[in-house]
Amino acid sequence: MADLYASLEEFLTHLKSLKAASPHTLRAYSNDLVQFIEFARARGQGTTDAVDVLLVREWIRHYREGKDGGGARAKSSMARKLSALRSFFRWLLERDEIEENPAVAVRRPKRDRPLPRFLDEDEVERLLETPEGDDFVAVRDRALLELLYSTGTRVAEVVGADVADLDLAGGSLRVRGKGKKERLCILGEAAVAALDRYLALRDRRLAEAGRRETAIFLNDRRGPKGLRRLTDRSVRRLLKEYLAKAGLDPKASPHTIRHSFATHLLNRGANLRLVQEFLGHERITTTQIYTHLDVKRLTDAYRESHPRAD
Tell me the residue type at 205: R
Q: Which of 90, 176, 178, 229 is catalytic?
A: 178
Per-residue pLDDT reduced to its tens digit, 268-298? 888 889 889 999 988 887 887 776 555 455 5
Catalytic annotation on 306? no
Banded pLDDT at 308 (limits 50, 70, 90): low
Banded pLDDT at 12 (limits 50, 70, 90): very high
Catalytic annotation on 255? yes
Q: Tell me the average pLDDT across 54-73.
A: 76
Catalytic annotation on 140? no
The rounded distance, in Å, linking the Cα atoms of 269 and 122 is 18
Catalytic annotation on 303? no
- At residue 283, the 3 state secondary structure works out as coil
How is the beta sheet containing 166-167 ordered, strand by strand? 166-167, 172-176, 182-186
Catalytic annotation on 16? no
- Confidence (pLDDT) at 112: 56
Give DSSP secondary structure letters for 211-275: ----BSSB----STTTT-BPPHHHHHHHHHHHHHHHT--TT--HHHHHHHHHHHHHHTT--HHHH
Long-range CB contacts for residues 129-137, cutoff 8 Å, separation at least 24: 129/246, 130/242, 130/245, 130/246, 131/242, 136/201, 136/202, 136/205, 136/220, 137/220
- Confidence (pLDDT) at 291: 67
pLDDT at 71 over 70: no
Least confident of 131-135, 246-250, 281-285, 302-306: 302-306
CA-nearest of 108, 101, 98 to 48 is 98
Quote the strand ranges of the chain, DSSP E.
166-167, 172-176, 182-186
- At residue 289, the 3 state secondary structure works out as helix
- Confidence (pLDDT) at 68: 60
Which domains does the chain possess?
A: 4-94 (1.10.150), 121-247 (1.10.443.10)
Q: Which of 154, 202, 259, 264 is catalytic?
A: 154
Per-residue pLDDT reduced to its tens digit, 129-151? 999 999 999 999 999 999 999 99
The contacts of residue 268 (CB under 8 Å, 6+ apart) are: none
Banded pLDDT at 73 (limits 50, 70, 90): low
Percentage with pLDDT > 90 across the chain: 63
Banded pLDDT at 69 (limits 50, 70, 90): low
Dihedral over Cα of 99, 96, 51, 100: its sign: negative
Higher pLDDT, 305 or 143: 143
Percentage with pLDDT > 70 across the chain: 89
Catalytic annotation on 154? yes
- Confidence (pLDDT) at 19: 76
Other CB atoms closer than 10 Å to residue 244's CB: what's the count? 11
Per DSSP, 307 falls in state T
Q: Which of 202, 258, 259, 264 is catalytic?
A: 258
Banded pLDDT at 216 (limits 50, 70, 90): very high
- Gyration radius of the chain's alpha carbons: 23
Dihedral over Cα of 190, 193, 199, 201: its sign: negative
Q: How many helices (H) and strands (E) does the chain have?
A: 13, 3
Higher pLDDT, 306 or 192: 192
Higher pLDDT, 301 or 190: 190
Tell me the residue type at 120: D
